[in-house]
């Protein structure tokens, strides 16, 4: 029997809400990817070339540390990974998350919130970091997306459970 995990990173709460809604509607476990050093408002200032987020996102090798750990990743066959789009892609801390586990044989399904950008190359970027997994392109949803819509979308990836 397959079991799903919804793992998410959220700097200002928008993705957190969506992740909670998704996990609840599909009956998945929920996990927060928490940065070891939380992002301050100044860190998130994308208009500042010297802000923490700008510096991290300009460096493809940046891997911000995570303070939380999934207890037993083995039990999951499908892992939904949620994040805000930062500079048209997944935040660097998502790269840290992907590199922190063995995703062999699992399906990773990215989902995102954003001001307006699509999810872009996030899925492809994540696939490169998890060669043994199947990483799909994923989808960006608007803030007000309904639980029903999320469930319908998610069921594509976990057909034998929903």
Ligand X SMILES: Cc1cc2nc3c(=O)[nH]c(=O)nc-3n(C[C@H](O)[C@H](O)[C@H](O)COP(=O)(O)O)c2cc1C
What is the contact surface with ligand X in residues (CB under 6 A)?
A: 10-16, 44, 46, 53, 84-88, 113-117
Q: How many residues does the chain have?
A: 162
CB-wise, 13 or 27, nearer to ligand X? 13
Q: Which residues of 128-140 are buried (b: 16+ CB within 10 A; e: fewer)?
A: ebbeebebeebbb
CB-wise, 38 or 105, nearer to ligand X? 38
CB-wise, 52 or 106, nearer to ligand X? 52
CB-wise, 53 or 127, nearer to ligand X? 53
Shortest Cβ 43–ligand X spacing (Å): 8
Shortest Cβ 85–ligand X spacing (Å): 4
Shortest Cβ 9–ligand X spacing (Å): 7
Task: Classify residue 43 as exposed, middle or buried by CB count within 10 Å of its CB (0-12, 13-18, 19+).
Answer: middle
Per the listing, tokens 């989902």 go with: 111
The angle subtended at Cα 19 by Cα 88 and Cα 47, nearest 5°, is 30
Shortest Cβ 120–ligand X spacing (Å): 8
């Amino acid at each position: 029997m397959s079991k799903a995990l919804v793992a998410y990173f959220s700097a200002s709460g928008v993705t957190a809400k969506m992740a909670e809604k998704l996990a609840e509607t599909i009956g998945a476990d929920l996990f927060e990817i928490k940065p070891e050093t939380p992002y301050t408002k100044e860190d998130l200032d994308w208009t500042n070339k010297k802000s923490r987020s700008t510096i991290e996102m300009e460096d493809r090798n940046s891997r911000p540390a995570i303070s939380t750990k999934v207890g037993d990743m083995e039990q999951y066959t499908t892992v939904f990974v949620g994040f805000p789009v930062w500079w048209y892609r997944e935040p660097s801390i998502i790269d840290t998350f992907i590199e922190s586990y063995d995703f062999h044989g699992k399906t990773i399904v990215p989902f995102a919130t954003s001001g307006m950008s699509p999810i872009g190359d996030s899925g492809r970027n994540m696939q490169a970091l998890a060669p043994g997994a199947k990483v799909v392109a994923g989808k960006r949803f608007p803030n007000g997306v309904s639980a029903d819509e999320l469930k319908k979308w998610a069921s594509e990836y976990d057909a034998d459970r929903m």
